[in-house]
Structure 1
Amino acid sequence: MDLHLTVQRSLAPEPGCSLEHAVMTSCDREPIHRPDAIQPYGLLLVVDSTSLKIIGGAGDIEGRLAPDWLGRPLADILKIPESRLHDEKRPSLSDLRVAGLKDETFSILRHAQGTHLLIELEPVEAHNLLTWDIFGEIDSTADRFERCPDTTSVCRQGAAIFRRLTGFDRVLVYRFMEDGTGRVVGESRNDAFPSLMNHHFPASDIPTQARALYLRNRIRVIPDITYEAAPIRPPEAGLAGLDLSDVQLRSVSPIHLQYMANMGTRASASVSLVVDGVLWGLIACHNATPRCLSEDIRAACRTLAGVMSRQLRNKEELVTYQERLRLRNAMEFVTSHFEVRHPIESNLRSFMGELQSLFPCNGFAVISDQTITGTGVLPDAENLHRLHDWLRLGTNGGIFVSTMLGKDYPPAAEWPERSAGLLAITLPFRTPTCLIWSRVEIIQTIEWAGNPHKDTTEGSDVLRPRASFRTWEQTIRGHSTRWTSEQKQAARRLRRVLIADYQTQQLRELNATLAATLEERESLLRQKDFLIREVNHRVQNSLQMVASFLKLQARSASNEETTTALTEAQHRIAAIGLVHRRLYRDEHFGIVDLGRYLEELMEELCSSLGGDWQEQLHLSLFPIMISADRAINIGLVLTELVINASKYAYDGKAGPLHVGLAQTSDRLVLTVSDQGECTPQLKGTGFGTRMMNAVVNSLSGTLTYTTLTPGLEAVMTLPLDSILPSEADASTEAALSQPPYPYP
């Protein structure tokens, strides 16, 4: 039902167009903002915005304003200064009054429309100017709205206030529903009209373009539906199709006039209720006899509608806030009491009652795999399992909401008495889990103001306005009560919280498993450490025993060559023993700082060769971490080179000795040089020479000699790849160098 502007599947008629022509087309395509005519109780002047001369108009301009109006300057006709028409600080002309030819006084409204100015002239009574009484009415009305507890009370109070203010026979507060239909939620009337309280109206009664105009023009008046439209003239002015969206006097479609006549309404007014920029509803005023609303009453209605709209928003926001607060508190209570040591599925089943109370429902269930735990009115287990499988296939972000489950999931049409509405949360756990809140069918009887189906002329497709508004009842089945937007948002929030709890629990279990694994590894490493240190202790004892035997044997040997060989053997054993001591004294098994090791080796070797060597020794050692077995080999080579320098360069006495260790690019260089006069045999075939060559070859290195003047320099070059720690050694070092993992 278009209470004041709507047409039923009609086309905006040309001036003089018949009803038969208008009813042939679709109402949602009717250009009702371009009727090319006005209601004749006022006048319309169309002015060129550049020259400010009148180029067209509508109504009895000659008889009520000026006989020779066409082509004249607007300022001359209205008898106002031309400067006022250009005054940007005061663009409105609503404060001005124009005297007519028949003792009439007109108010002025100005609208800019492209290259035109549209000037509305509407007759006013002198005593109808705004008074302090109206301001007082506005103030007291705002106070009454403020005291209303909810939107229902605001609508009922608003209907009574607007009827008292306008004097109309019936005032309805009409609200637009989510599906586009309308419902009367407030009413005040006398005996001239029947009651339409709680009656519904189809969405087609107020088409899209009519709703857009209700947003643009907040008040609309039709003083008498029996008027004869006044066309815009002259025809040669080319003003056909002029946009009259903002014009209060705009003519009404003949279909709508017939619609009002069928309702028994002679005059009407409508005031828009706009909440946050959206058309919330209408205040619809009906009168059985012609009735006009004066300018001051329209201004008061416009103001009161704004006050009422703000109160409607406040009441709805209060309800929304309270519902959100309740849902948040209830959700936090449930999730905060979950037992962290129990699986999330077990917690869900332990708090069935609390979860069910989150959203008003008739039944609640937790479904996972082959297990269903439910309470209240629900479908049987087999249907629940099938419903669960269907929900898991959905791509709705894990949330499914329906108030007509049989439409979305056809099998549910067989059991609406057990579930007609559903709110479901699917959880992507290791075992897929689903929470469902179910509502049973609510059988509703909706009262329509007449049959909502379109009336047609018998035997044709011509659509006409509904002729009857007698109560027409319709029974609605298969629907449940509506799930609110707050409930949907809370469901999404609950899903996020449950998934986060599940992930935290999984992480906690993973950390516990990792902690146990690391503890077991630490235990194994401690056992390994104990065994290695025990082996080292025994190796050290064995090496010391061998060294002692060699020392005793050297003392008892009568051959100098034998004594020398036994002494060299002691030095070699000492080099191996030093590596073992360095290796197992460090924190990282298997890895040795070569520079530090060689420094200690030289100190011990010089001590065994004689105290004078300490002053002659010069070290330049680069620190580098290498494998322990490689360090032993390098230590043996260095020991052999030093023994050779002592034996051949200085004939067993102390002399200057330089030992260097450096890294160049991808190679390690060990240098031993002396300043002795004697030069050893570079191509020796003794045990020491063969041993050095074997060790150097095993490391993929080279050993070269350079004769100095005086002295000899031995250079051993090794590729880093052959001596650096292996990946296994490095990983072991990294693991042992880290502190214990912090577990929650």
Structure 2
Amino acid sequence: MRDQPKILDCENEPLANSGLIQPGGALLFMEKGSRQFRYVSANAESLLGEPAADLLGQDGDDWLAGVLPDMGALPTAAGQRLQLTAGVDLGAGDLDVLITTTGSGWLLELEPSVPADQAQQPPSLAAITDTMTTEQLHHVQQQLVDAIRRVIGFERVMLYRFHPDWTGEVIAESAAATAKTYLGLRFPASDIPAIARALYAQTPYRHVPDTRATPIPILSRSGEATALDLTWSDLRSVSPVHVQYLENMGVMSSFSVSIMVDGRLWGLVACHHPSAKTIPLARRDDCRALVSAYVDHFKVYQRSVQQEIHQDLTQSLDRLQAALDAGAPIATAFADQFAPLAQRFSASGAALWVDRDLTLLGDPADPEALSALHDWCLREQSDAIAAFDQLPEALLSQLADQQRGFSGFLSIGMRALRHGNALLQLYLLRPEEVSEIAWAGDPEKPLAATPDGLRLSPRDSFDKWVEVRRGFSKPWSDTDRFAAEQLRERLMQLL
């Protein structure tokens, strides 16, 4: 595939080990063992009044005593943060200080404080979060992006939701009247590659005040190339590929807040501005608090949906249990309860295998195609639950000339311990659903010719680009997967 080398090119960027920071602040790293400053950014003198070379090797505890009277407050867990935003004076003006624990020490990041008479006063966070009470989730999502835009004053704020294939979609947007809209548009997974998503999952936010700013090197005592891990650094430098990507969008300043749900990166609040703009540390933390409030509301919504699923499945499976208790074969009991299951999963049909016996339910599908599907899953698929909105490539080539009757499937596998330990495999089937996906530009990133050969070149157009997608079913959602887990758990109790 043409995409493969491009994605690998992105994945090979040393994002967390660049040895550089953005110039909006200075960085020091205190090693846990020696308690000395092992790394210092070259611009430290501008904020501390002391040359970086002189700071290297100094006792960090002595320095911290002037910043943190209670050393017991020093964070200990990796990624844990302590913010001091009251204006710490270390000799060259008031500073905001962020202390973050890493595996081997503490990152100390210093930024000039914004004077109280110049600081933008944010709206009351309590007043904002108190309005997030509607049961309509999309209203809460709009409230979130509106609130964050009020806090930071950016031109555009978007709620960016990841799909299971890591493509992203803008599902809510707050923007100036003159700004280009991306609402409803999709972005390819390669726009935010896995290495970048991993960083988002470990950090609360990412701020780029000025894409045109020259990065600052981090110095080490030995003078050798640094290997300092900047995963948790607010000041971490920006990938040149990402800088070009933002500039191609007409963006000079960006801010992204990670949205974590149940330990997984659910999405981002992505903020863009056409000119350089620094968000003070306290305002960045306000945005983090707003996202946390949104996640709380999302979880309440999620629980209500899950409770509804549980109730629906309980009714169907109680009837299935009654049929089994009355002596009905497994296939017969399933056939009688297929209609409510089909409605819950938006399935047109199903195939039930009990050992090698096949029962077809709902709309007809080709038995030969189902046999090929079943054999492939037994051979290649080890997960108890798996969902595909397009048949795997091996099956597509094998069944190319057949009228299958389905384009997507969700499989649920288990052993029926009370029925001779029979292997039970249920396939819920969905037909092809020809759809249009509106992308923010052609999702294919071009490869540019350079003296070193073909290299990744970020997309330079984000105009709406519509793809007509064939051969896919309606995608299986997180809600579908939850329902499948609930169904399997109850079936294991019954069978």
Q: TM-score, normalising length from structure 1?
A: 0.55
The one-letter code sitting in structure 2 at the alignment partner of 1:447 is: A
Which residue does 1:654 correspond to in 2?
Answer: none
- Asked if 1:451 is matched to 2:434, the reply is no
Q: Is the deviation greater in 390-399 or in 480-489?
A: 390-399
Structure with a larger share of its residues in strand:
2
Deviation for aligned residue 1:389:
7.7
Deviations 1:535-578 (A, max 9, x none): xxxxxxxxxxxxxxxxxxxxxxxxxxxxxxxxxxxxxxxxxxxx
Deviation for aligned residue 1:257:
1.2
Equivalents in 2 of 1:161, 1:330: separation in Å? Answer: 43
The one-letter code sitting in structure 2 at the alignment partner of 1:304 is: L
Change (3 A) 1:417 1:197: farther
Equivalents in 1 of 2:20, 2:235: separation in Å? Answer: 9
2:41 to 28, 34, 58: 58
Deviation for aligned residue 1:271:
0.8
User: SS state of the match for residue 311, structure 1?
Assistant: helix
User: SS state of the match for residue 300, structure 1?
Assistant: helix
Change (3 A) 1:433 1:9: closer
Change (3 A) 1:128 1:464: farther
Change (3 A) 1:323 1:236: same
- Asked if 1:248 is matched to 2:234, the reply is yes
Deviations 1:338-390 (A, max 9, x none): 68266665555555645644542234578999997754x423xxx33663586
User: SS state of the match for residue 126, structure 1?
Assistant: coil
1:393-472 superposed matches below 5 A: 395=378, 402-405=388-391, 407=393, 409-410=395-396, 413-414=400-401, 418-423=405-410, 437-458=428-449, 460-472=453-465
Which residue does 2:131 correspond to in 1?
Answer: 144
Which residue does 2:21 correspond to in 1?
Answer: 38
How many percent identity over aligned positions?
A: 27
Equivalents in 1 of 2:207, 2:109: separation in Å? Answer: 14
1:229 to 200, 212, 215: 215
Deviations 1:285-330 (A, max 9, x none): 0001111112221121111111112222332232122112211212
The one-letter code sitting in structure 1 at the alignment partner of 2:48 is: L
- Asked if 1:109 is matched to 2:69, the reply is no
Which residue does 2:309 correspond to in 1?
Answer: 323
Deviations 1:142-196 (A, max 9, x none): 223232423x333232112211221100011112221122222221111443111
Which residue does 1:172 correspond to in 2?
Answer: 158
Equivalents in 1 of 2:334, 2:64: separation in Å? Answer: 78
Deviation for aligned residue 1:209:
2.6
Change (3 A) 1:55 1:86: farther
2:87 to 81, 84, 97: 97
Do the aligned partners of 2:42 and 2:219 also contact (CA within 8 Å) in 1? no
Do the aligned partners of 2:210 and 2:276 also contact (CA within 8 Å) in 1? yes
Deviation for aligned residue 1:30:
1.6
Which residue does 1:630 correspond to in 2?
Answer: none
- Asked if 1:124 is matched to 2:107, the reply is no
Task: Report how many aligned residue pairs link the two structures.
Answer: 470
Change (3 A) 1:414 1:190: farther
Equivalents in 2 of 1:278, 1:372: separation in Å? Answer: 37
The one-letter code sitting in structure 1 at the alignment partner of 2:112 is: P
Equivalents in 2 of 1:400, 1:89: separation in Å? Answer: 46
User: SS state of the match for residue 147, structure 1?
Assistant: coil
Q: TM-score, normalising length from structure 2?
A: 0.79
Deviation for aligned residue 1:273:
0.7
Deviation for aligned residue 1:109:
2.2
Deviation for aligned residue 1:64:
4.6
User: SS state of the match for residue 111, structure 2?
Assistant: strand
User: SS state of the match for residue 180, structure 1?
Assistant: coil
User: SS state of the match for residue 119, structure 1?
Assistant: strand
Structure 2: which 5+ residue stretches go unaligned? 76-81
Equivalents in 2 of 1:44, 1:436: separation in Å? Answer: 55
Deviation for aligned residue 1:438:
3.3
Deviation for aligned residue 1:98:
3.5
The one-letter code sitting in structure 1 at the alignment partner of 2:304 is: L
The one-letter code sitting in structure 1 at the alignment partner of 2:20 is: A
Do the aligned partners of 1:220 and 1:270 also contact (CA within 8 Å) in 2? yes
Deviation for aligned residue 1:283:
0.7
Which residue does 2:346 correspond to in 1?
Answer: 360
Which residue does 1:618 correspond to in 2?
Answer: none
Equivalents in 1 of 2:29, 2:358: separation in Å? Answer: 77
Structure with a larger share of its residues in helix:
1
Change (3 A) 1:276 1:394: closer
Change (3 A) 1:97 1:237: farther
User: SS state of the match for residue 324, structure 1?
Assistant: helix
The one-letter code sitting in structure 2 at the alignment partner of 1:280 is: W
Change (3 A) 1:129 1:48: farther
Deviations 1:467-498 (A, max 9, x none): 22122222221121234213423553575477
2:467 to 449, 474, 477: 474
1:264-275 superposed matches below 5 A: 264-275=250-261
Deviations 1:423-444 (A, max 9, x none): 5679988999987643221112
Do the aligned partners of 1:128 and 1:294 also contact (CA within 8 Å) in 2? no
Equivalents in 1 of 2:60, 2:423: separation in Å? Answer: 82
Equivalents in 2 of 1:392, 1:49: separation in Å? Answer: 55
Deviations 1:218-273 (A, max 9, x none): 12211111111122247854462222222212221222111111110011111111
Do the aligned partners of 1:425 and 1:495 also contact (CA within 8 Å) in 2? no
Do the aligned partners of 2:316 and 2:337 also contact (CA within 8 Å) in 1? no
Do the aligned partners of 2:6 and 2:445 also contact (CA within 8 Å) in 1? no
User: SS state of the match for residue 461, structure 1?
Assistant: strand
Change (3 A) 1:192 1:78: farther
Change (3 A) 1:399 1:292: closer
Which residue does 1:608 correspond to in 2?
Answer: none
Change (3 A) 1:56 1:245: same
The one-letter code sitting in structure 2 at the alignment partner of 1:462 is: R
Which residue does 1:628 correspond to in 2?
Answer: none
Which residue does 1:188 correspond to in 2?
Answer: 174
Which residue does 1:692 correspond to in 2?
Answer: none
Do the aligned partners of 2:372 and 2:395 also contact (CA within 8 Å) in 1? no
The one-letter code sitting in structure 1 at the alignment partner of 2:197 is: R
Change (3 A) 1:86 1:35: farther
Do the aligned partners of 1:362 and 1:440 also contact (CA within 8 Å) in 2? yes
The one-letter code sitting in structure 1 at the alignment partner of 2:268 is: L
The one-letter code sitting in structure 1 at the alignment partner of 2:71 is: D
Do the aligned partners of 2:31 and 2:106 also contact (CA within 8 Å) in 1? yes
The one-letter code sitting in structure 1 at the alignment partner of 2:457 is: R
Change (3 A) 1:341 1:125: closer
Change (3 A) 1:358 1:236: closer
The one-letter code sitting in structure 1 at the alignment partner of 2:284 is: R
Do the aligned partners of 1:404 and 1:480 also contact (CA within 8 Å) in 2? yes
The one-letter code sitting in structure 2 at the alignment partner of 1:88 is: G
Which residue does 2:374 correspond to in 1?
Answer: 391
Equivalents in 2 of 1:87, 1:433: separation in Å? Answer: 60
Higher relative contact order (CA 8 A, sep 6+): 2
Which residue does 1:87 correspond to in 2?
Answer: 71
